[in-house]
Amino acid sequence: MTSLYKRKGQKREEILANSAEDNKIMEEVKDGKVEKLAILFERHHVMLYNFFLRLTGNRSVSEDLVQDVFFRILKYRSTYKGESKFTIWMYQIARNAHVDYLRKQKRQFSLEEQTQEAVSQEPTPEEKIEQGQDVVMVREALAMLPLRKREVLVLSRFQNLKYKEIAELLGCHIGTVKTHVHRAIKELGKIYIELSGGTVT
């Protein structure tokens, strides 16, 4: 049987198949086959890392949060319902892990410190092409957005979640998500212009 991963021109079908397979694997993890979690880790840890990196600007913290998410998936596997995509459930756990991280820090790291670390470290090849030559400035602007706006923008524009999926994740209507994304993009643009020395009209 030809693997879906090797077929060309069927990206949508692959995504749907992978999503169904993720759910099946998670059901096996829930039933006690915890070694299967390694498959989900291999499939999604990079995506999760990028999600956390764009929220925190800190690579070390992002790596720790990824580990925390999969620890929580293992710990709370019995609560998995399988009513929606595994990735939606995973991102809900990720959001909770990030909130808990922020609470524990008690503002130990200022926004300036987070931004400085993101700027000082050499970006990966993927990050270099993310926004072309303006990647550092875009990161700085993104870090200055309020958390809720930053989060919805990262989910939509960087993690490529559909509005419907974000709405399910956040527990709101699709229209609300669209509004949040639009406002976040608008505010991000203003911040970017200010950072680049331009004038916001």
In a domain, 116, yes or no: no
pLDDT by residue (tens digit) across 88-133? Answer: 999 999 999 999 998 887 655 444 445 444 444 444 444 444 445 4
Task: Return the higher-pLDDT residue of 152 and 195.
Answer: 152
Max mean pLDDT among 1-10, 138-147, 169-178 falls in 169-178
C-alpha to C-alpha distances, 70 to 28, 57, 191, nearest whole angstrom: 15, 20, 34
Q: CB neighbours of 30 closer than 8 A, spacing ≥ 6?
A: 77, 78, 80
Examine the domain organization and report whether 142 and 190 are in the same domain.
Answer: yes
The confidence score (pLDDT) of residue 77 equals: 92
Q: Are residues 56 and 94 in the same domain?
A: yes
User: Is residue 6 one of the residues assigned to a domain?
Assistant: no
Mean pLDDT score of the chain: 80
The least confident of 60-74, 109-123, 157-171, 180-194 is 109-123
Q: Among residues 146, 148, 147, which one has the least CA distance to residue 171?
A: 148
* Inside any domain, residue 96: yes
Mean pLDDT within 37-62: 93
Closest CA to 161 of 19, 8, 4: 19
Residue-number span of the structural domain to which 158 is assigned: 122-201
Domain stop point among 83, 110, 137: 110
Residues 197 and 153 in one domain: yes
Phi-psi region of 132 (alpha: psi -120 to 50; beta: other; left: phi over 0): left
Residue 106 gets which letter from DSSP? T
Entry pTM: 0.71
Percentage, residues of the chain above pLDDT 90: 50
List alpha helices for the chain, DSSP H: 11-30, 37-56, 59-75, 86-105, 111-120, 125-130, 135-143, 147-153, 163-170, 174-195
